[in-house]
Chains A and B, each alone.
Chain A
Amino acid sequence: MSCPHCSPEPRPKDAGIQVSTLEHPVVALVGNPNVGKSSLFNNATGLHQEVRNAPGTTVEMLSGVWKSAGVELFDLPGTYSLLAKSPDEQVTVDALAGRLDRQPSLAVVLLDATSLPRSLYLLGQVARTGLPVVAAMTMCDVAAAEGRLPDAARLQDVLGIPVVAMDGRKQPAELAVAVKGALTGDAHVRGVRGTPLPADATLEEQLADAQSLFVWTEDVQRQLGTPADTHAVTRSDRIDRVLLHPWVGIPVFAFLMWALFQLATTVAAPVMDWAESLVTGPVTTAVSAILSAVGLGGGLIEGLLVDGILAGVGTVFSFAPLMFIMFLAIAILDDSGYLARAAFVADKAMRAIGLDGRALLPLIVGFGCNLPALAAARALPDARQRFVTAIVVPYTSCAARLTVYILLATVFFGPNAGSVIFLMYVLSILMVIVAGLVLRKVTGAGVNRQPLLMVLPAYQVPRPLVLLSEAGKRTWGFMTGAGKVIIITLTVVWLLLAVPVRGGYTVGDVPIEDSAYGATAEAIAPVFAPAGFGNWQSASALMTGFVAKEVVVGAFAQAYAVDEPEDAAEPGTLGDKLTATFDASSGGHAGAAALAFMIFVLTYTPCLATLAEQWRMLGPRVTLAATGTQIAVAWLLAVAVFQLLKLVW
């Protein structure tokens, strides 16, 4: 469990929050996905929120104090049913039963005015848990535009519980009053009988249970007299005629993917540079000045602070805008209603590897940069899908790896460099597919050929303030969660580079080959001998590549003590030196060894920041197991390719 909020011992800060809210009764917010639940939650709780993972899962649960109602509000994952079909839905079931946290005293159930029968079904299930219920009717504007807005007062009479028609963009004052009243009164839904089914109920029992509620929802619907379907062509239908058109839908989807890819690379790059320069520029200068002033300048402490810790902080800061941009872009696609359509458009392609159509987004973003791809993966609605996607993302060949391919392909394959680089991308896609298929077997995700049955929310204009604040919160979560791992690792790398192991150098002023880093690379190098690149320079470049792939070329240059080439396609003396080293370590099969090295770079690990984010999403155990497996597979692939090519070339 990576999330600090779900560690078994509460931290003092959390304990403080819990004491202050202990006297508040808990109210659970339940509703279908995409019916304005998070918007209601944000309006009710404002800034008094806390995000945490439900124990033992990657499912996020939000809680916050709703001051005007005097309660603690739990925002539970959106679901269509309490007969859970996914880990996310199970969290909602468990939370309502009081198995995850404190037992809720009341449930606020959202009713989608455009799709009342489906919402009433969930309301009936919640009522069966025995909890008092208050209903909040959302999407009223859309339903009114279609001429079939249910009468809230009439619904209140029929159901026998408070029903409040919501305007999603305002403070839910009326709802607060209803909740307060219901906590002391008797808000039990009229006409719903029975208790929740046990967890081990058979499908037949579940169907019979559901059927009895369908009868009830149809009865309520009849008493209300609102038409079920006006046969009107809605605004969303007209948009769908374009965006889901068999010939137009896929190009539009492809264009949006391209735009996301651009955001993760070209657009983010200058902002990332600026954010990093803020730390490496003014902040570093200030720290150096302070250290000099107190007499610690120029020494080991300055090195540790500036080149170790501050460099790490700079890296975290440089990634923060990238994550923010991606969180925001995905949130806009989600909020507008397009993300669900994307799942429909890409369903056929992704189904083959047992993934949701939406998983194509993170995978494509991954070819730009793996880290924001994980940000996009967080938006997937199913925990198993998030799990599989987060693990296969590192196989998408990010732009940073391209610099390594360009250098090696130019040096070793000359006129065929382009084809070799293309081959790396083909291999990358193959690895994603194979890893997806293997994980499908391992996790059981998608084995049953789950049908695609997806509710498409009505299109709406994305709400900028809500989305900005959500993206900000998620970015902050990345900086504090993954940031720690990044800073600690970079500090360790600095220490290894600074400490001399031979040659009588002083600490902090030592050539790489005589540092602890160089000695480690030398110790690791023999492992790569069967793959033809068992030289310390390659090992050192791979160690650096573990931190970030874009510095592998620089690491080679540093190892040979030559200037880093301005353009990796014109390697100059670095090329000659690389050729000599690879020739020696491969016994004259330099080309085969170079290809094996490129394949290893593609497959061994993503960069440190991606690993840190995986750690935060999947927990240490899964991340370490996945990384270990990837390194082993990468080594086997590199060895196999080298040994085979050696025979013929």
Chain B
Amino acid sequence: MTKHFFGDTAVLLGRSLRHITRSLDTIITTTIMPIALLLLFVYVFGGAIKSGSDSYVNYLLPGILLITIASGISYTAFRLFLDMKSGIFERFQSMPIARSSVLWAHVLTSLVANLISLVVVVLVALLMGFRSGAGVVAWLAVAGILIVFTLALTWIAVIPGLSAKSADGVSAFSYPLIFLPFISSAFVPTDTMPGPVRAFAEYQPVTSIVNAIRDLFTHEPVGTDIWIALAWCVGILIVAYIFAMVIYRRKIA
């Protein structure tokens, strides 16, 4: 049946993308919070924050992009949860299709939905004065990091999507992920934080990812941050994928 994998995935991807185009409110809700944070921090708190950068919106955007993804994947989990609950997941699994394409369609849909949200947030940032001297290669590198990060968080989202008992539980997992950038270099430089907090902030994945994206945007040499960032993303991706697969196998004989 694997010969149909790509065809089946494409058909199911088309189905989920229709869900997104028919309920654009999910994109709007996904982007509202990051945009609100952007406005709040740039126009209210930003003036008092010594970021060491000429423009606070330039400093802030990388972290906001990660928050956008963290809030976007709660819909990934929710869409999967609805499919599980409505029984359509079982219907697909009892059909002569490549079974894994059901899950992959959700993962790719998550990627597309998050990319749309990211574009919206970047456009808002541009309106607010975000400027970057980054060239095409640097932008592609940023896109690459964001895609790997989205995939990593998406596979985390698959876990509650498959196993949650209620609609409330299914999105709760994303709150800590949304909160994680606050204890990182996303909003303020880490050197003003007290010892233990600073240690946590500097060694958690968000800081290296934010620093790598920021360096790419500002045309600085990225150094080792980008490799640490990618190592985190790929590591999370692999671990989440394994856990998701274990749960998937348990659900489907």
* Pairing of A with B: no
Q: Which residues of B contact A (CB under 8 A)?
A: none
